[in-house]
Amino acid sequence: FEPLVSDFYSYEAELLSDQEREAIAKLRAWLEADVKPIIGGYWERAEFPTQVMKPLADLDVIRFAWDETKPFENSSVFRGFVALELSRVDASVSTFVGVQNGLAAGSISVAGSQEQKDEWLPKLASCEVIGAFGLTEPLSGSDSARGLRTTARREGDEWVLNGQKRWIGNATFSDITIIWAKDEADGQVKGFIVPTSTPGYQATKIEGKISLRPVQNADITLTDVRVPESLRLQNANSFRDTAAVLRATRAEVAWSAVGTAIGAYENALAYTKEREQFGQPIASHQLIQEHLVNSLGNITASLAMVVRASQLQDAGKLRDEHSALAKAYATSRMRETVAWAREACGGNGIVLDHHVARFFADAEALYSYEGTREMNTLIVGRAITGEAAFV
C-alpha cells in the first residue's frame, strides 16, 4: 500500500485497517490500469464504459449494507476513501457507484422492508441489477422537498404513477429506478421501486453535457405507470425519509469532491515537474508553487472535514448540517483547485490527454448535484441561526 502523496497528514494510512488499505490498493491498481487509459475517449464520446461494472462489483465497491444508527465494519470512513479513490481517477465512474450504491441501494437500505432489502440489495451489489434514483424534476430541483409534481395514486393493491423526472443518472440503462412521488391522498412523498420495463415508463438521454459526459443522465416520463404495493418502499413515509438517504450520499459527494481535486492536483503536479519554460521546470517557478501549495491546503482541509463527517456518521451522529457543510465546503475548494491545476498546465490544461481538463469540467456537476452550494449553505445557515432562509 503506497500512501497518496496528496494525503499530506496521513489520514488514510492511520485511519484504515490493514484489510481496508489492501482493498483500496487493489481498487487503485485497477483504476490506474483499466480506467485511466480509456476514460478520456469515453468522456469525449459521452459513453459510459459498461465494462467497469463487473470489476467494481468484484472489488466489492458497491457495499450497500449501511445503517446510519450504528458503527459497522463497512464504515463510512472506508466508503469515503473508496469514493475518493474512484474520483481521483474519474468522477463519472465514481458517480455511477454513487447512484448504484448510495442512492439506489441506499434508498432501499434506509426505507425498504427487510423483504425488499433481501431481494434487491444483493443484486445491486453484484451489478446484476442496475439502479437509478429519480427525485429531481424539470420544474423541481432545489425545492424537491415540497415542489415535487409527480403523483402516486393508490388503486387497490397497485399504485399509479404520473409525472416527469430530470437528470436521473444511470437511467438510460437502469433495470430499476427509485421514483419519489407525492401520494395524492395524504400529500406525502413516497418512494417506489419501478422496474424500467413497466409500460408507461420512458427514459431519454440528456445530450450536450459539458461535465461528467460518460454519466448517462435522462429525462423520464411516467404515464400511468402501475406498480404493486409490494414495490413501494415500505418505510418511506415522508420527505424526511428521502432526506435521510441524501444526508449520507451528500457526505459521500464531498469525498468525491476531494478525490476530484486530488486527481487534478496530482496530474498538474506531475506536469509541472516535466514541463520546462525559461530553462527550468515550471514547478520551480514561485507562482506555480503557490498554486500547488494552495491546492494541497484545500485538499487537506477538505479531507479533514469529510473524515470527521464520516466518523460522525459511523457514530450515528451525522446531522443534515454536517453533511451540508462538508458538501458546500469541499466542492467550493475543489472548484478552486481544479482551476489552478488547469492554469498550471497552460494550453495543455484544456485537452483531455493530460486528464486535468476532465477534472476541471467534471467539477461543475459535482458542485451542483445532490444540493447546490447555495442550498447546502442555507441548510447550515438554518442550523446555526435558527432562522430558515428557505421554506
Binding of residue 192 to ligand FAD (CB under 6 A): no
**Measured from the CB atom, is 45 or 273 closer to ligand FAD?**
45
**From candidates 15, 26, 36, 141, binder to ligand FAD by CB under 6 A:** 141
Cα of first residue to Cα of last residue in the chain, in angstroms, is 48
Binding of residue 376 to ligand FAD (CB under 6 A): no
**Three cell numbers written together for 133:** 434514483
Q: How many other CB atoms are found less than 10 A from the CB of residue 197?
A: 8
Angle at 17 between CA 13 and CA 19, to 5 degrees: 115
Binding of residue 142 to ligand FAD (CB under 6 A): yes
Binding of residue 136 to ligand FAD (CB under 6 A): yes
**From candidates 372, 381, 382, 383, binder to ligand FAD by CB under 6 A:** 372
Q: How many other CB atoms are found less than 10 A from the CB of residue 270?
A: 14
Site for ligand FAD in 73-102 (CB under 6 A): 99
For residue 264, give every residue at least 6 positions away whose Cβ sits within 8 Å of its Cβ, in sequence order, or none.
295, 337, 338, 341, 342, 355, 356, 359, 360, 363
**Three cell numbers written together for 301:** 482541509
Binding of residue 369 to ligand FAD (CB under 6 A): yes
| Distance of alpha carbon 51 from the chain centroid | 19
8 Å CB contact between 310 and 80: yes
Length of the chain in residues, anyone? 391
**From candidates 169, 214, 259, 263, binder to ligand FAD by CB under 6 A:** 169
**From candidates 49, 131, 134, 259, binder to ligand FAD by CB under 6 A:** 134
**Measured from the CB atom, is 213 or 291 closer to ligand FAD?**
213
* 76-89 and 239-274 helices, crossing angle to 10°: 50
Minimum distance of ligand FAD from residue 317's CB (angstroms): 25
Stretch that binds ligand FAD, among 47-55, 84-92, 135-143, 266-274 (CB under 6 A): 135-143
**Measured from the CB atom, is 245 or 292 closer to ligand FAD?**
245
Minimum distance of ligand FAD from residue 391's CB (angstroms): 8
**Measured from the CB atom, is 144 or 337 closer to ligand FAD?**
144
**Measured from the CB atom, is 116 or 377 closer to ligand FAD?**
377
Minimum distance of ligand FAD from residue 207's CB (angstroms): 13
DSSP letters for 314-383:
HTT---HHHHHHHHHHHHHHHHHHHHHHHHHTGGGGGSGGGSHHHHHHHHHHHHHSSS-HHHHHHHHHHH
Binding of residue 365 to ligand FAD (CB under 6 A): yes
Stretch that binds ligand FAD, among 78-86, 195-203, 238-246, 362-370 (CB under 6 A): 362-370
What's the CA gap between 295 and 341, in Å, rounded?
8
Burial class (CB in 10 A: 0-12, 13-18, 19+), 64: buried
**Measured from the CB atom, is 142 or 198 closer to ligand FAD?**
142
Binding of residue 375 to ligand FAD (CB under 6 A): yes
Site of interaction with ligand FAD (CB under 6 A): 99, 133-136, 141-142, 167-169, 212, 215, 217, 365, 368-372, 374-375, 378, 390
